[in-house]
Amino acid sequence: MSQETPDRPVKLAAVIVAAGKGLRAGQPLPKQFAPWRGSTVLRHAVENMQAGGVELTCVVIPENSEEAVLQLLDGLESCLLVTGSDTRQASVFNGLEVLTAFAPEIVLIHDAARPDCPPEVIGRLVAACGEQTGAIPVLPVVDSMVVATDGLMADKADRESLRRVQTPQAFRFADILAAHQHWDGPKNAGDDAQVAQASGMEVTLVDGDERLQKLTFAGDFVQTRCMIRTGTGYDVHRLAAGEELWLCGIKIDHDKGLAGHSDADVALHAVVDAVLGACGEGDIGQHFPPSDPQWRGAPSSRFVEHAVLLARAKGFAVGNVDLAIICEAPKIGPHREAMRAKLAQLLGVQPECVNVKATTTERLGFTGRGEGIAAQAVATLHSN
């Protein structure tokens, strides 16, 4: 991390509050330092501020954590560190005082626990501060609201006048600094908009974003947004006399059939491996060993259904599957739509989410000589 500061006037700075304990998140360390999406919560928060145009960032950190934070933010430019205090309001004030030497025009005050800040939100906040002294991102309340007293419903709340408040919150720097300097309200102010309003500042509302979800509980670290996973599968079976030919769960009349594991449906086997690969569950041989007699002659549709259930158990659903069948014969075209429909049924998707295509190897290799059939599949999963 570089603590070198810009050598020009700073228009937009940020204070990122990362001094809390984050105990409710169920992590082995404060949640702002916890792993998240391949990095850490804090690093994502800083990087997204910078991606939104922030020129100088002051990170408010716990006592005696400077060395660890320097390692977490290694390689990032224009970052300053300051130790927090015993309340959020006092910690923010510490950060603002550090920025006083740079006199930024606008400052964003942001919670590290909201690491995924879209640049569009920052743009809306900065634009609003051109007209007002402060602006905060909000979302509408969509559920019915009530006032509770001693565990009982006391009154109905008007959700039309309520908003969910997020950070970052943007202010003209001189105004919010003065507001914190003269704050004499509750020791633990809810947020900086409360401090600003208490000093007479007008705070305008701009559209927030669901991506600004606050990481609070252990479950927030398991799945925080839609994830896309991709897997591939490839399988080969030899053609033999006296065997039935099954492809994509459809029985096809042919002078030879496929020999091997279960009903030897090479197309479904490739799809199974693609789905298993996308959700990190190994391959078909691990789940259905060919040496196990219980799978001899079994319909491969069972394998597909099993792979889909495994994916669902890990929070994923099938998005689409692209399957290529490689053979000289039989002709796949007359059976294509039936294959798509059967695959879609097994995968739990619409037929338009399944593509079945065929190709040859121009009579080269084992498929070209009619000795066997190969299949290759790609599956895309998305989080539920």
Closest by Cα among 178, 212, 191, 224 to 52: 212
CATH number reported for the structural domain that contains residue 32 in this entry? 3.90.550.10
Q: What is the mean pLDDT of residues 335-341?
A: 96
Any residues with CB less than 8 A from the CB of 359 and at least 6 apart, and which? Answer: 324, 325, 326
Residue 57 domain-assigned (yes or no): yes
Q: What is the mean pLDDT of residues 134-144?
A: 94
Residues 263, 118, single domain; the answer is no
Residues 136, 270, single domain; the answer is no
Query: Which of 180, 199, 221 is at the close of a domain?
Result: 221
Residues 300, 367, single domain; the answer is yes
Domain span holding position 347: 228-383
Q: What is the mean pLDDT of residues 146-154?
A: 86
CATH number reported for the structural domain that contains residue 314 in this entry? 3.30.1330.50
Residues 265, 362, single domain; the answer is yes
Residues 186, 237, single domain; the answer is no
pLDDT score of 181:
95
pLDDT score of 368:
94
Query: For residue 172, is pLDDT > 60?
Result: yes
Residues 64, 184, single domain; the answer is yes
Strand 12-17 versus strand 56-61 pairing type: parallel
Residues 286, 158, single domain; the answer is no
Residue 268 domain-assigned (yes or no): yes
Closest by Cα among 114, 176, 160, 167 to 137: 167
Residues 108, 248, single domain; the answer is no
First to last CA, the chain: 36
Residue 2 domain-assigned (yes or no): no
pLDDT score of 155:
83
Residue 5 domain-assigned (yes or no): no
Any residues with CB less than 8 A from the CB of 7 and at least 6 apart, and which? Answer: none
Residues 42, 190, single domain; the answer is yes
Any residues with CB less than 8 A from the CB of 78 and at least 6 apart, and which? Answer: 2, 4, 5, 6, 50, 55, 56, 57
Residues 26, 58, single domain; the answer is yes
Residues 212, 261, single domain; the answer is no
Residue 289 domain-assigned (yes or no): yes
Query: For residue 329, is pLDDT > 90?
Result: yes
pLDDT score of 224:
47
Residue 186 domain-assigned (yes or no): yes
Query: Which of 188, 221, 254 is at the close of a domain?
Result: 221
Confidence of residue 334 (pLDDT cuts 50, 70, 90): very high
Query: Which is more confidently placed, 220 or 18?
Result: 18
Residue 1 domain-assigned (yes or no): no
Q: Is the pTM of this model over 0.85?
A: no
Residue 6 domain-assigned (yes or no): no
Tens digits of residue pLDDT in 39-53:
889 999 999 999 999
Query: Which of 159, 194, 221 is at the close of a domain?
Result: 221
Tens digits of residue pLDDT in 182-240:
998 877 788 999 999 999 999 999 999 998 999 887 777 765 456 899 999 999 999 99
Residues 194, 249, single domain; the answer is no
Number of domains in the chain: 2
Q: Where are the beta strands (DSSP E) in the chain?
A: 12-17, 35-36, 39-40, 56-61, 79-83, 106-111, 134-140, 145-149, 152-157, 163-165, 169-172, 203-207, 228-240, 245-247, 250-252, 257-259, 316-326, 354-359, 372-383
pLDDT score of 4:
63
